[in-house]
């Protein structure tokens, strides 16, 4: 077990690549959160970043329901999370539920890229959080139906994910050995040949 958060991040951070913003290699998704509240100014900044994500027809279909610890919104989001994720998410000072409007406002036609645009805005949010010294962990393990009911989310919105946000904690504070082991395991990603193609399933020659 690493002695400090800095030691752990040495394992979790990806190797630097010249010309690529370091933030892309240092951002990762801890499950351990420090017992420290997030300044409202920093919360404003992460949503400001999300606000400027690109979207089809500039629709900005994303919606973010944010709950800070002790608030009714926090309780509603937390109650929708599955038991596996509740075990660690309970230490996060901020929980965010996101959703996407599935019809364009200008003509009420289906927006097939609504979730794509929500994902882009969420990525901006997580990267801005990392730039501010915050960490995020996005999760699919929650009851979308319960969340929809709790917040009275209209049927023409698709629910995306829950994001836990706060300051990084030490893995020894996690509630079980499975979480602690995952927290300190090295990260990996697929090689380019597995997802960058010039024809379907034909790796592109990147030179």
Instruction: Please tell me the CATH code under which domain 5-203 is placed.
Output: 3.40.109.10
| Exposed/middle/buried for residue 20 (C-beta within 10 Å: 0-12, 13-18, 19+) | exposed
Are the C-beta atoms of residues 101 and 63 closer than 8 Å to each other? yes
Q: Report the predicted TM-score, pTM, of the whole model to 2 decimal places.
A: 0.96
Q: 139, 162 in Cβ contact below 8 A? A: yes
Domain ranges of the chain: 5-203
Report the distance separating Cα 169 and Cα 128, nearest Å. 19
- The residue behind tokens 């592109």 is 204
**One-character DSSP codes across the chain:** --SSHHHHHHHHSPPP-TTS-THHHH----S-B-S-PPPHHHHHHHHHHHHTS--GGG---EEEEEEETTSHHHHHHHHHB-HHHHHHHTT-SEEEEEEEE-B-TTT--B-TTHHHHHHHHHHHHHHHHHHTT-EEEEE--B-HHHHHHHHT--TTEEEEEEEEEE-B--GGGSSSHHHHHHHHSPP----GGGT-EEETTEE----
In which residue are the tokens 């082991």 written?
A: 181
How do the pLDDT tens digits run along the chain, 207 residues long?
677 899 889 999 999 999 999 999 999 999 999 999 999 999 999 999 999 999 999 999 999 999 999 999 999 999 999 999 999 999 999 999 999 999 999 999 999 999 999 999 999 999 999 999 999 999 999 999 999 999 999 999 999 999 999 999 999 999 999 999 999 999 999 999 999 999 999 999 998
Q: Which residues contact 90 (CB under 8 A, 6 or more apart)?
A: 78
Nearest to 128 by CA among 48, 60, 67: 48
Cα separation, 79 vs 142, in Å, equals: 9
Give every CB contact of residue 141 below 8 A, 6+ residues apart in sequence. Answer: 81, 82, 84, 85
């Amino acid at each position: 077990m690493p002695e400090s958060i800095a030691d752990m991040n040495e394992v979790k951070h990806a190797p630097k690549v010249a010309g690529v913003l370091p933030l892309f290699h240092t951002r990762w998704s801890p499950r351990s959160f420090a017992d420290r509240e997030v300044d409202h100014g920093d919360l404003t900044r992460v949503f400001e970043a999300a606000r400027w994500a690109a979207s089809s027809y500039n629709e900005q279909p994303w919606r973010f329901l944010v709950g800070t610890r002790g608030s009714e919104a926090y309780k509603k989001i937390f109650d929708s999370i599955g038991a596996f994720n509740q075990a660690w998410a309970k230490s996060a000072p901020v929980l965010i539920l996101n959703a996407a409007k599935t019809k364009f406002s200008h003509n009420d036609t289906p927006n097939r890229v609504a979730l794509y645009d929500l994902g882009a805005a969420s990525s901006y949010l997580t990267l801005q959080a990392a730039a501010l010294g915050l960490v995020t962990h996005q999760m699919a393990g929650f009851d979308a139906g319960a969340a929809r009911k709790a917040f009275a989310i209209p049927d023409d919105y698709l629910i995306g994910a829950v994001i836990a946000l706060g300051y990084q904690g030490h893995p020894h504070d996690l509630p079980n050995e499975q979480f602690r082991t995952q927290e300190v395991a090295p990260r990996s990603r697929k090689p380019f040949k597995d997802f960058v193609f010039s024809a379907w399933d034909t790796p592109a020659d990147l030179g």
